Chain A
Amino acid sequence: MRRNTLFWISSLLGALPALPAPAQDVLVLRAGKILVAPGKVLPRGTMVVREGKVFALGRDLATPAGAKELDFPTAVVVPGWVDSWTQATSAGETQELSTAWTPEIRAADALDLESPLWERFARWGVTSVVVTPDPAQVGGGLACLVKTGRKARLVEKALFLQFSLTSRARNRERPPTSLAGQVALIRRNFRKAPKEGPLARALSGKLPALFACRTPAEVQAALRLAAEFHLPKVLLEAPQACRPLPSLLEGSGVGLILTPPGKEAPPWSLGIPAALAGKGLPFAFASACPSYPPVELRLLPAPARRRGLDPVRALAAVTVTPARLLDLSWRIGSLRLGRDADFLVLDGPPAHPGSRILSVFVEGRPVWTAPAGAAKESPK
């Protein structure tokens, strides 16, 4: 049904006369397979990109005049990966040590868009990065969205408001010193929240609220706060190594962002994503850079897949699901019509780690291309 709609739309658009547009704004891409979203594949498809957005998808589309053409007959085109929780600024720049309550802080104000880090993100296929303030403040601040590449771009300044219940926000030398104190601080400030500002927007649901947690006690405290203040849109950031996570989140309607397990991941931690999937709870994988350097996000779910996570959900956890949890699915996470044209060209199926990235496009512009002469698939 979906494909039919696409087909009709695309053929209709193909039948239209070529609209006058500057040549460099239109890109026509032909690929062996286009993965519009995990589970939806368009074999031998064509994608037309105009002004950085996906304009048309289909088979045998007419090429507008003056458009750049790219042909990858054997490659697979996938949406760029979305890294949904990082502190990808230099260390300490959003860590406001003097006070614990800083909801006005914006991670966007501390970004270094010239940093070579963004190019490294692009090289690993991550096209959208969510930068959050340091979880060293209880009332953390606003997160932002950055598009990667040599010329990184800040596209969203206020994505969600972050609150930290982790031990990083507890300090022996300044309040609060305990988890109960963190919760009391949050509660006190929620009750006397000003009528305008990010806090008011978070309390009324216009802005999602994200709670950063590490242990089961912190997860329960976050859920209790969400229930007490009837927060409409709540996200949770937790590590995989939190054992009761599936049972705690059941029926709570809370979105989850999973960060990699720590150094010595206990064996059961690899089975948590599969358990969450079994209960129908949505979750996204994030890299928590810089504690875990930028690396192929696609490889993060591989250990979880060994323990039963299905490949479609594993791929969705780095594309569609984070976009949905952050209310950004109108923009990133998939290659549906009207979304940003952030995609990767792989030389093999995305589920297989051996497939390499040949090039990375952000909003229709190539930001990274694999050096020519990269080792081909040689027999073992």
Chain B
Amino acid sequence: MKAILLSLLSALPAAVAPRAQVTALRAGHLLNGDGKVTKNALVLISGGKILAVKPGGALPAGAEVVDARDLWVTPALVDCGSSMGLAPGNATEEDREVEPAVRAADALDLTDPAFKRALASGVGTICVLPGSKDVISGLAAIVRFTGKDGAPRIVNPAAALVAAMGRDPVAGNIRFPSSHYFRRPTTRMGTVWLFRKAFFDARAASPDTKDPGIRILREALAGRLPLRILARPEFDIRTALNLAEEFNLRVAAVDEAQEAWRVAALLRSARVPAALAPSTRISRADMVKQEWNFAARAAAAGIPAAIQTGRGGGGLSLIAQARTAYRLGMEKGAAFRAVTLVPARILGMEKRIGSLEKGKDADLVLWKGDPFGPAGKVVCVFCGGRKVYGRTPSSKEGSK
């Protein structure tokens, strides 16, 4: 009896609720998932989510049609590491080297035109990282264009804990003794020492401590808060993975990782993706030997690789970085996944974004021309089923 009642009650909302408006998108080329191209595909969107993706078929009755038969359709791109909206001085809090409670979300300027530019280049989700001048610099934030008229909004102000290996935290610490910055670390060993000390102290602190930093480190120790570690050369990547293993931390990604292909086996067995630095920037920091095709090598070695626009603003848009990596040898499918599926997984949002599948958010981009071709241009961007940028192509056929 109870079961019947429960089933009836659960069925009621579905019966009573008005059927949400279905939008049918006819795509000339659909670039989705692993990088496969489907011609003349049909994407059905309802209630901000994807209902179905079919390789062609009839339009459902009463559907609003978006005719993109001469356009390419891809899921909205995901930028898993950038410093948009952060003024250069605001990126890192350098009071101490371990600042887990500082949030990049607190210093974000959502009116920064860089966000508009990113949207106009097809990016739907951005992860903003604090700077790399501290060993543990704080919490990253995830921004999506869900506001009015596509305005950016912070959807997660504490998405990941950001740490840095190498010489970035050391920079500026070798000074005259009376300076506030005359402190550890001044070497790589010091950086690792501070990292380990922070987690040791977090473990050893009393359970009801009020210190927000310790509480955040505890979350990371429990695996509830993922970590993003900056490591460029292969010995730093090795160190990062060792530390993660020591403290049983969940590493969401290794940032920049120009030499990831050298430790491919390690990354594969630890199942840690690499959020690669843009190929257009040649880094000489940390004694890294950046090969011109490091992205291609990482993909060929089987590491799940994502491409990010990186800290330090300016530079090419995300799709331009993916195009460059493709032209420098990265396999096209891998380059496509590097800006869609892999970063979605890094941000922990693979159930919602990253590809156009049933149940995921309807974030897609219409392109004029192949996005990986030289003339690919964004025509229209949808976020959650709503158009947030550009002009929808006029529908030529009405619903039948």
Interface residues of A in 173-196 (CB under 8 A from B): 173-181, 183-184, 187-188, 191-192
Mark interface residues in B102-125 (1 if CB within 8 Å of A CB, else 0): 111111111110000000000000
Do B94 and A177 touch (CB < 8 A)?
Answer: yes
Do A180 and B87 touch (CB < 8 A)?
Answer: no
CB-CB < 8 A to B101: which residues of A? 184, 187-188
Do A180 and B109 touch (CB < 8 A)?
Answer: no
A170 within 8 A of B: yes
Do B93 and A175 touch (CB < 8 A)?
Answer: yes
CB-CB < 8 A to A74: which residues of B? none
Question: CB-nearest residue of chain B relative to A224?
Answer: B106
A369 within 8 A of B: no
Do B110 and A178 touch (CB < 8 A)?
Answer: no
Nearest CB of chain A from residue B308's CB, rounded to whole Å: 20
Do A215 and B93 touch (CB < 8 A)?
Answer: no
Do A178 and B180 touch (CB < 8 A)?
Answer: no
Q: Which of A172, A184, A244 contacts B103 (CB under 8 A)?
A: A184
CB-CB < 8 A to B94: which residues of A? 177-178, 181
B92 within 8 A of A: yes
Q: Which of A170, A183, A192, A248 contacts B89 (CB under 8 A)?
A: A170
Q: Which of A179, A192, A243 contacts B106 (CB under 8 A)?
A: A179
- Known A188-B212, A220-B108; judge A181-B180 contact (CB<8 A): no
A173 to B176, CA, bound (A): 12
Do A178 and B179 touch (CB < 8 A)?
Answer: no
Mark interface residues in B359-380 (1 if CB within 8 Å of A CB, else 0): 0000000000000000000000
B255 within 8 A of A: no
- Known A181-B102, A184-B101, A192-B210; judge A176-B93 contact (CB<8 A): yes
Do B130 and A215 touch (CB < 8 A)?
Answer: no
A244 to B105, CA, bound (A): 18
Do B109 and A181 touch (CB < 8 A)?
Answer: no
A216 to B99, CA, bound (A): 24
CB-CB < 8 A to A215: which residues of B? 87, 109
- Known A179-B90, A180-B138, A181-B93; judge A174-B180 contact (CB<8 A): yes
- Known A184-B101, A244-B111; judge A175-B95 contact (CB<8 A): yes
Question: CB-nearest residue of chain A relative to B111?
Answer: A244
Do B111 and A216 touch (CB < 8 A)?
Answer: yes
B85 within 8 A of A: yes
Q: Which of B94, B96, B107, B179 has the most CB of A within 10 A?
A: B107
Do B110 and A220 touch (CB < 8 A)?
Answer: yes
B229 within 8 A of A: no
CB-CB < 8 A to A175: which residues of B? 93, 95-96
Q: Which of A172, A173, A178, A248 contacts B107 (CB under 8 A)?
A: A178
A174 to B178, CA, bound (A): 12
A115 within 8 A of B: no
Do B109 and A178 touch (CB < 8 A)?
Answer: no
A188 to B103, CA, bound (A): 12
Do B106 and A176 touch (CB < 8 A)?
Answer: no
Question: CB-nearest residue of chain A relative to B154?
Answer: A224
Mark interface residues in A190-224 (1 if CB within 8 Å of B CB, else 0): 01100000000000000000000001110011001
CB-CB < 8 A to A173: which residues of B? 179-180
Q: Which of B109, B130, B179 contacts A217 (CB under 8 A)?
A: B109
Nearest CB of chain A from residue B126's CB, rounded to whole Å: 16
Mark interface residues in B77-93 (1 if CB within 8 Å of A CB, else 0): 00000000111011111
A167 within 8 A of B: yes
CB-CB < 8 A to A167: which residues of B? 89
- Known A170-B89, A188-B212, A217-B87; judge A180-B111 contact (CB<8 A): no
Nearest CB of chain A from residue B223's CB, rounded to whole Å: 24
Q: Which of B85, B99, B108, B210 contacts A181 (CB under 8 A)?
A: B99
A179 to B103, CA, bound (A): 10
Interface residues of A in 160-175 (CB under 8 A from B): 167, 170, 172-175
A172 to B105, CA, bound (A): 21
Question: CB-nearest residue of chain B relative to A242?
Answer: B111
Do B107 and A217 touch (CB < 8 A)?
Answer: yes
A140 to B220, CA, bound (A): 34
Nearest CB of chain A from residue B107's CB, rounded to whole Å: 4
Do A217 and B93 touch (CB < 8 A)?
Answer: no
Do B93 and A177 touch (CB < 8 A)?
Answer: yes
A216 to B90, CA, bound (A): 13
A189 to B92, CA, bound (A): 20
CB-CB < 8 A to A178: which residues of B? 89-94, 102, 107
Mark interface residues in B171-190 (1 if CB within 8 Å of A CB, else 0): 00000000110000000000
Do B138 and A179 touch (CB < 8 A)?
Answer: no
CB-CB < 8 A to B95: which residues of A? 174-177, 181
A181 to B138, CA, bound (A): 10
Do B104 and A180 touch (CB < 8 A)?
Answer: yes
Do A220 and B109 touch (CB < 8 A)?
Answer: yes
Interface residues of B in 121-155 (CB under 8 A from A): 130, 138
Nearest CB of chain B from residue A227's CB, rounded to whole Å: 12
A176 to B109, CA, bound (A): 19
Question: CB-nearest residue of chain A relative to B151?
Answer: A247
Nearest CB of chain A from residue B330's CB, rounded to whole Å: 34
Q: Which of B89, B96, B109, B138 has the most CB of A within 10 A?
A: B109
Do A184 and B89 touch (CB < 8 A)?
Answer: no
CB-CB < 8 A to A188: which residues of B? 101, 212
A209 to B104, CA, bound (A): 23
A191 to B92, CA, bound (A): 22
Nearest CB of chain A from residue B161's CB, rounded to whole Å: 14
Nearest CB of chain B from residue A201's CB, rounded to whole Å: 22
A217 to B104, CA, bound (A): 11
Do A248 and B111 touch (CB < 8 A)?
Answer: yes
Nearest CB of chain A from residue B155's CB, rounded to whole Å: 14
A188 to B87, CA, bound (A): 23
A356 to B101, CA, bound (A): 56
- Known A173-B180, A179-B87; judge A216-B109 contact (CB<8 A): yes
Nearest CB of chain A from residue B142's CB, rounded to whole Å: 15
A280 to B90, CA, bound (A): 32
Interface residues of A (CB under 8 A from B): 167, 170, 172-181, 183-184, 187-188, 191-192, 215-217, 220-221, 224, 243-244, 247-248
**13 A-B interface contacts by CB (under 8 A):** A175-B95, A178-B89, A180-B90, A180-B93, A180-B107, A184-B103, A184-B106, A187-B106, A216-B112, A217-B87, A217-B112, A221-B107, A243-B111
3 closest A-B pairs (Cβ-Cβ)?
Answer: A175-B95, A181-B93, A217-B109
Interface contacts beyond A177-B93, A247-B111: sample of 11 additional A-B pairs, CB < 8 Å, sorted by A: A170-B89, A178-B89, A178-B90, A178-B94, A179-B106, A180-B91, A184-B102, A187-B106, A217-B87, A217-B109, A243-B111
